[in-house]
Amino acid sequence: MRYVITRPCLQEGSLRLLKYLSDTFPSAGPVTLVDDRGQEHTAQVDPARQRVWGLGSLYHAGNLGVNDVLMITPLATGRFQVEGIVKPHAPAPAPRREAPPKPETRRVVVSATPHVREVRVQEVREPAAPASRLPEPSQTRREQAAPVPSASAAPQASAAPTASTPAREPRPAPQPAAPQPAPEASAVGRPPAPVSVPVRPLDVRFPAATTAAAPSVQGPEAQLAELARLTGYGLEVLGPGVVRLSADLGAHGYSVRVATAPGALQTPAWKEAADYSVVLTPEDERPAGTPRLTHEALAALIDHAHLAPLSAVELRGYWKAGSVDLESAASVAELVGAHLAQRGAFSAVLLSLAQQPAHSVVSVQRLAERLGSGVTSAELHAILDTLTRAPFLALSPLPGGGYLLRGGVPELLGELAEYAEGVRRRLRPAVREREAVRA
């Protein structure tokens, strides 16, 4: 089981017994936890306070912090293997690049006579090129200066030039300067501006069924029918406002009677047999004497069942607890998150194997180095073992450790998809026959 460490857990040296952990720690008393270094830590299970105490030494030895993960595996009665997964730190944000300040400009008088005054606009900035390439100041002044004739001097300025005064050729209008690359550090005496390189994130996609949003369901009866369809319950309408969810699990089967309105508690249908009973209420209402299922929790359970497989086996402990509210739904969310994390670890291993060519040797140590802390050693070995068996048959174990990659990962997945599609086509007649029997 996967458990996310919280701040109170670190402060108290404890582990909260969420409902999905009730089968992992079923009884009170001392237990032994063996960490990934082989050290044993003694803890105390306290179901009354829903805690496992005495984990301070385990947290300290593993250098664990908030949001890190504990992988708990039962070994024997009262003995568990515990592996800590340290969450990688998020990279520091890139420094914000500020826009360069606009250059300061000023008007400069180049020359002046009683009738003509030459002025130009000058930028106050560092030179943008080496000094050996800059034009002479006098040449720049002559090229950029523009004569501004006064009103009294207009006839003289427009008169034809004399023989002693050579005619000035007209200059074309200045064109906007094309953007120039950033100057080198040796040219201007300062380092060039940093270049921002976009980083393309790794695109890991789950199947469409795990990312599709839950459909909009109207009415409590329709919501309960949707929950039953997703989690494997049978739905039976006992009377107005009363339905029964039945889990056909053989010797482990059970049923839940649900009243969709408080008034249904007074109807004869409410007296029908069931293992558990709840009344559907808003989150802020707590009916006296009857366990509740809140509207908000029901909607959350449907959402969770769309994200990952959720069955009546996992939900039985919540009905048994006597109240299914948003706190219970948050516990289910952690369970669903653990399922999605396992699927993500499987996808990460496949993506890493895809970097190798077909018929190459897979080194477990190098594969673990590429995966980093996102996949634990126990998870990696379990995934590799799964890939050696049908229907994958992607790896062949080698003597002394390591595996042979039997083919390219894209080709292997394509063959697996064809196999699944072939099985699905064979199932269509059986599905139609079953639906006809139900009708």
Write the DSSP string, 206-255. Answer: --HHHHSPPPP--SHHHHHHHHHHHHT-EEEEEETTEEEEEE--GGG-EE
Domain boundaries, the chain: 2-85, 208-340, 355-429
What pLDDT, on a 0 to 100 scale, did the predictor assign at position 245? 96
User: Three-state SS for 366?
Assistant: helix
The pLDDT, as a whole number, for residue 194 is: 37
Half-sphere exposure of 46 (CA within 13 A, CB side): 13
Q: Is 282 exposed, middle or buried (0-12, 13-18, 19+ CB in 10 A)?
A: exposed
Is residue 145 over pLDDT 60? no
Q: Which residues contact 349 (CB under 8 A, 6 or more apart)?
A: 367, 371, 375, 380, 383, 384, 387
C-alpha distances (whole Å) from 110 to each of 37, 119, 124, 135, 145 are 82, 5, 16, 17, 7
Classify residue 227 as exposed, middle or buried by CB count within 10 Å of its CB (0-12, 13-18, 19+). Answer: buried
- In the predicted structure, residue 117 carries a pLDDT above the cut 50: yes
- Looking at residue 255, its pLDDT comes to 96
- What count of other Cβ atoms lies within 10 Å of the Cβ of residue 319? 24
In the predicted model, what is the mean pLDDT of residues 248-269? 91
CATH number of this structure's domain 2-85: 2.40.330.10
> Mean of the per-residue pLDDT values for the chain?
75
Q: Which helix (H) or strand (E) covers residue 26, if one does?
A: none
Q: What is the mean pLDDT of residues 290-316?
A: 91
With bands split at pLDDT 50, 70 and 90, how would you rate the model's confidence at 104? low
Helices (H), 52-118: 56-61
Give CA 291 to chain center in angstroms: 35
Instruction: Give DSSP secondary structure letters for 125-161.
Output: S--SS-GGGSPPHHHHHHHH-EEEE-STTHHHHHSPP
Q: What is the pLDDT of residues 181-203, one digit of tens each?
A: 444 433 333 433 333 333 333 33
287, 301 contact by CB (below 8 A): no
| 43 neighbors 53 (Cβ within 8 angstroms) | yes
pLDDT of 232 higher than 80: yes
Q: Which residues of 79-113 are buried (b: 16+ CB within 10 A; e: fewer)?
A: ebebbbbeeeeeeeeeeeeeeeeeeeeeeeebeee
Q: Give the pLDDT of residue 254.
A: 95
Is residue 29 over pLDDT 60?
yes
Output the 3-class SS for 372-383: HHHCCHHHHHHH
- Report pLDDT for 3: 84
- Per-residue pLDDT, averaged over 402-416, amounts to 93
End-to-end CA distance of the chain: 41
pLDDT of residue 111: 58
Q: How confident is the model at residue 359 (pLDDT cuts 50, 70, 90)?
A: very high
Please state whether the predicted TM-score (pTM) of the whole model is above 0.75: no
Look up tokens 């270094």; give the residue: 37
Task: Residue 275: count other Cβ atoms within 10 Å of its Cβ.
Answer: 14
Model confidence at 166, in pLDDT bands (50, 70, 90)?
very low
pLDDT at 351 over 70: yes
Which residues 6+ apart lie within 8 Å of 323 measured at CB?
A: 278, 291, 292
Same CATH topology for 2-85 and 355-429: the answer is: no
Q: Which tens digits make up the pLDDT trace of 33-62? A: 988 788 888 999 988 888 898 888 888 888
Position 147 scores a pLDDT of 46
- In eight-state DSSP terms, residue 325 is S
* Range with lowest mean pLDDT among 65-79, 211-225, 264-278, 341-355: 211-225
355-429 has CATH 1.10.3470 classification: no
**Among 54, 342, 296, 94, which Cα is nearest to 195's?**
94
Assess contact for 405 and 394: CB atoms under 8 A: yes
Q: What is the mean pLDDT of residues 261-272?
A: 90
pLDDT value at position 90? Answer: 46
